[in-house]
Structure formats: C-alpha cells, structure tokens
Structure 1
Amino acid sequence: MIFASDLDRTLIYSKTSMGQGINDEDLIPVELYKDEYISFMSKQALALLNDISQLATFIPVTTRTIEQYQRVFHIVNTYTPKYAITSNGANILFEGVPDVEWSAIVQSALKTSATHNEVKALFDEISSPEWALRGRLCDGIFFVIIIERDKLPASIIENLRNKLSILGWTLSIQGRKLYMIPSGISKGAALLHLKTRIGASYIASSGDSLLDESMLLAADFIIAPGHGELFDTYRFSSVYRFTESAGIKASEELLDGIKEAISMVSGMRTEKRRHYEKTNMV
C-alpha cells in the first residue's frame, strides 16, 4: 500500500498558513532555510504520520524542486522515504537520487509542449511589475512567479490560462505563487509509475491544489484539506472528500482519515489471508 501526499499546506505549514489559535508548544519544526525554521507540523499530525508509515509506503509528492524538498529535513531525515516525487512529477527520487529511467520518460513527454522561450514570451506580453514581482525557471522544466495576488488581473490571467492550454502548459495559482507547468508532466503520472514499480495495489492520497488532482485521481482513497485551490474549486460538489478543519488542523484530520482507511484495508487483507490459509490447510 502507498500513502502519497503533497507537502505544503497539506502536511506542512508556514506560520502564515497554519491558521489561528495554534500554540507553539504543539508544533514541531520540519523545514530549515537560511538558519530559520519556516515550516512546521503539529505533534499530533507527526504521530499519525508515524503510524501510517508503519502500515504503508509513504511517498512525499511536491511541486518543490529537489533542493527545496531536501530542506524539509524532518521528512527527509526522519522518514528517509525510499521514493519521493518532486518538481510536480518531473523527478522521482530513489533513495535521494533522481531516477534516470523516469527522467528519460519525462524528457520524451516534454516534446508535446511548447518550449520555455515561447511560454516566457507569452507571459512577458501580459506581465506587469504591479503584480508579477519575480520569477524563475525551476529544474529547467516549469516557471514559478511570485505575485501580488490581490492585484492579479483575473480576466488577463484566465486568457493566459487558455493560451497556455493550447501550447500544452498548465497554469495554477497557489497562495502568492503562479505556476506554469508543461502538461506532459504530472504528479499522477509519476505516482502511477511508482505504483507499478513497487507492485502496490492500493493508494491513499491527499493534496490541496489543482496540481495535486492527477495524483488524487490515481488513488483509491482520497481526502483533501478544507482550504486551498482544490477546496475553492470543488467545495460545493461531491467530487472529493474534504476535512471540516482548515489550516494545520486539517492535516491532523486528514491523516486520521488516511490511517483509518489504510488500517481497514490492511485488516481486510490479513483476514482474507488467514481465511485462505485455513481453508487450504491439509
């Protein structure tokens, strides 16, 4: 079994994203950047993640680059995940090292999308320093732009989204970040590749953004935080199950649900195996 989860605003939270009324003594720092702890998990969430990791293969899945993922020291060093998916699915790490086979598959998939230069030129046509503060090309694959979200011109961005779609790219906004990502790569594709490689038959998953949707659609059990881009899009539908809590408390609720689902499947399989052994005894 696999538990595949997004990190930011799903399992780990900055001080500004975790919500109100959180006591510092309930938090454990999980990310260090420039000698400062910038992301946290609650003690209860970590305890639940520990339990889940004993029952299933925990695979962190993130839009972060490899370097940014490695900053999340508590996940990387405490759980030492055998597999991790970074760069929105463009990289699969096997024991911390990029998987060469998957990299070749990704490079082939990228040929179906327009080049970085074409996308940058399209963005530069509509970009304004009033709302686009700075940006960069990540891992040579996708763009991330730091934005002033309150000043974002909605109609212009929607038009950009449509044009990018024609070019084989996806646009997603998460907090103060605007992502432009080739459609040929996704978290879901990377996860399905690992499912086959590991030989798993069951996936539980969680994530908070539309960039997580391909991963969620590859799963057998889904629960998502009651906040974020995915929640804003589907909150009034029955497409996904969302937590009642928002912020860092959502991580506790969703991990509790994941643990219950995985435990149930594990118990059913154990009972089925015992029944098989009993009925086939000589």
Structure 2
Amino acid sequence: MIFASDLDRTLIYSRKSMGTVPENELVPVELYQGDYISYMTQTSIELLQKLAGHAMFIPVTTRTEEQYKRIFFIEEHLQPKYAVTSNGGKILIDGILDQAWSAHIQHSLKESAAPEEVSSAFAQISSPEWVRKIEFSDELFFSVMLYPERAPIPVIEEFRHRLAAMGWHVSFQGRKLYLVPAGINKGDAVLYIRDVVGARYIASAGDSLLDESLLNISDLALSPRHGELYARKPDKAGVRYTRLSGIKAAEELIAEITTYFLSIQQQVPTIS
C-alpha cells in the first residue's frame, strides 16, 4: 500500500498558509537560511508516523530536489525510500536519482513545445508590475514568482488555454505560477513506483491542479478545502475535500487515510 502526498499546503505549512493555530501545537519541519519556514502540528506528525507504519509513504512535490531536501523532518524521522520531486520530473531512491525515470522524462518532453517557445509566449503577457522573477527549475518547468494582488487573472486564464495547446499546464498558487510540460506529472511518477514495488492500493492527498494527476490514479483521493483544486473544481468526481482548512486539514486527511488502510488490512491481512 502507498500513501503518496503533496507537501506544501497539504502536509506542511508556512505561517502565512496555516491559519490560526496555537503556537504550542506547531513543530518546525523545514530550515532555510537559518530560519524555520514550514511547520506541521504535533498531531499531524504523530498521525503520519503511525500511517508510515502501515503503508509506504512517498513525498510528492513540485519542489526541486534541493528545495525538498530542506525539509529535514522527512529525512530524519520518516526516511522514505522513494520521493518524487520537480512535479514528477525526478524520482529519488534512498536520495539517489533514478536514472531510468529521468531518461523516460527526457523522452516525454519531446511531446510538448520547447521551453524557449513557452518562455517567449509568457514574455508577451508578463510585466514587472506583477511578475517578480521567473526561473527554469531543474531545466524541466518554469516557476514564476508573483505579486499576487496585481496578477491579471483573466490574462492568466487566457494564457492557460494557449499553453494547453502547446502541451503545457498552468497552476496558479498564490505567490507562484507554474508552467509545466504535460509529460511531467505526479501521477505517472507514482504509478512507476507502484509497479516497481508491486503495491496494489494508492491513497493520495494534494491541494493544487498539479496534484490532479496524482489524485486521479488513486483508490482514495483527499484534498484540503483551502486549495487551488477546490477553488476551481469543488465538485471533482473521485476526490473528497476536507471539512477543515489550513494546517488542521492535514490532521483530518492523514487520519482518514490511516483508517482506510487499516480497513484494507483487516479484510485481507496479506495485501500489499
């Protein structure tokens, strides 16, 4: 059994995204330039550690490999054998890049427009008034830092349709806009791992449109109510949204997934 989960705004939260929660419930999980910048609740940590005893936990993130490794809690306390970074562009096995998957990704990129074409198209709509910085992350996809209050939503929505015709996806997540080739997605990466380990069941969690491919291939799919996915697709078939929002949503979804796996184990004790 596999529990594959997005990280930011699903399991871990910045102070801006967590909502109101007592300080004594928070545990820092990410260190960057000497400061703690992401947190989980103590309850979420305990629940996740319990869940990892019943299923293979796979972190699945749009973060680059370098950004993922800043989350010290995962490596020190959970030590997952597999991790998916760069929105599915990379798979790490015991912290080492899976070269076979990387070769597959390079082949799949040929099905989408070249990054230079996408960069040129975005340059036609971008402006310093709302774009702070643009990066080509891991030479796979674009991460655009925004001034979200100034972002021209209708222009971005029109660009979304334009990019879809070029074989790229757009995800708008507050201060960031992601432009990602269709061949790089979380769902395909987790299916690859599932086949390698021979698992039969997948439960997943994620909050954004970039998590949709992961949720679509899962037997149980949960999404925090505060996320981009809920905002755009509140009636999405096959996905259950949490009752809670903010950092407390993590407790709810981990608890429900644990109950799901325990029920499977009770039915067929030898299932994997």
TM-score range, shorter chain: over 0.9
Letter in 2 for 1:138: S
Residue in structure 2 matched with residue 234 of structure 1 by the alignment: 233
Residue in structure 1 matched with residue 34 of structure 2 by the alignment: 35
Distance 2:111 2:130 in 1: 30
Residue in structure 2 matched with residue 118 of structure 1 by the alignment: 117
Residue in structure 2 matched with residue 7 of structure 1 by the alignment: 7
Residue in structure 1 matched with residue 191 of structure 2 by the alignment: 192
Residue in structure 1 matched with residue 167 of structure 2 by the alignment: 168
Distance 1:167 1:214 in 2: 18
Residue in structure 2 matched with residue 17 of structure 1 by the alignment: 17
Distance 2:29 2:7 in 1: 11
Contact 2:125 2:155 survives alignment (8 Å): yes
**What's the % identity of the aligned pairs?**
47
Distance 1:66 1:32 in 2: 15
* Alpha-carbon offset, residue 238 of structure 1: 5.0
Say which structure is richer in helix. 1
Letter in 2 for 1:12: I
Residue in structure 2 matched with residue 278 of structure 1 by the alignment: none
- The SS at the match of 1:270 is coil
TM-score, with length taken from structure 2: 0.97
* Alpha-carbon offset, residue 271 of structure 1: 8.4
Letter in 2 for 1:112: E
Contact 2:9 2:17 survives alignment (8 Å): yes
- Give CA deviations for 1:51-92 in whole Å, capped at 9, x if unaligned: 100000000000000000000000122111100000000000
Aligned counterparts, 1:123-162, within 5 A:
123-162=122-161
Letter in 1 for 2:13: Y
Of the two, which has the highest radius of gyration? 1
Contact 2:216 2:238 survives alignment (8 Å): no
Distance 2:233 2:114 in 1: 31
* Alpha-carbon offset, residue 234 of structure 1: 2.3
- Give CA deviations for 1:72-131 in whole Å, capped at 9, x if unaligned: 000122111100000000000000011000000000000011111111111111101111
Contact 2:168 2:179 survives alignment (8 Å): yes
Residue in structure 2 matched with residue 222 of structure 1 by the alignment: 221
Distance 2:123 2:220 in 1: 40
Letter in 2 for 1:181: V
Residue in structure 2 matched with residue 249 of structure 1 by the alignment: 248
For structure 2, which runs of at least 5 residues remain unmatched after alignment? Answer: none
Choose 197-206 or 222-231, whichever is displaced more. Answer: 222-231
Residue 154 and residue 26 in structure 1: after superposition, are their counterparts in 2 closer, same or farther (change >3 A)? same
Distance 2:248 2:157 in 1: 32
Distance 1:99 1:169 in 2: 24
Residue 3 and residue 239 in structure 1: after superposition, are their counterparts in 2 closer, same or farther (change >3 A)? closer
- Number of paired residues? 271
Distance 2:201 2:155 in 1: 41
- Are 1:179 and 2:178 matched, yes or no? yes
Distance 1:270 1:83 in 2: 24
Letter in 2 for 1:8: D
Residue in structure 2 matched with residue 279 of structure 1 by the alignment: none
What RMSD over aligned residues (CA atoms) do the two structures have, in Å? 1.2
Contact 1:2 1:200 survives alignment (8 Å): yes
Residue in structure 2 matched with residue 95 of structure 1 by the alignment: 94
Letter in 2 for 1:139: D
Letter in 1 for 2:81: K
- The SS at the match of 2:31 is strand
Distance 1:162 1:232 in 2: 18
- The SS at the match of 1:254 is helix
* Alpha-carbon offset, residue 155 of structure 1: 2.0
Contact 1:224 1:241 survives alignment (8 Å): yes
For structure 1, which runs of at least 5 residues remain unmatched after alignment? Answer: 273-282
Residue in structure 1 matched with residue 66 of structure 2 by the alignment: 67
- The SS at the match of 2:180 is strand
* Alpha-carbon offset, residue 23 of structure 1: 1.3
Contact 1:234 1:240 survives alignment (8 Å): no
Distance 1:212 1:191 in 2: 11
Distance 1:42 1:215 in 2: 24
Contact 2:30 2:72 survives alignment (8 Å): yes
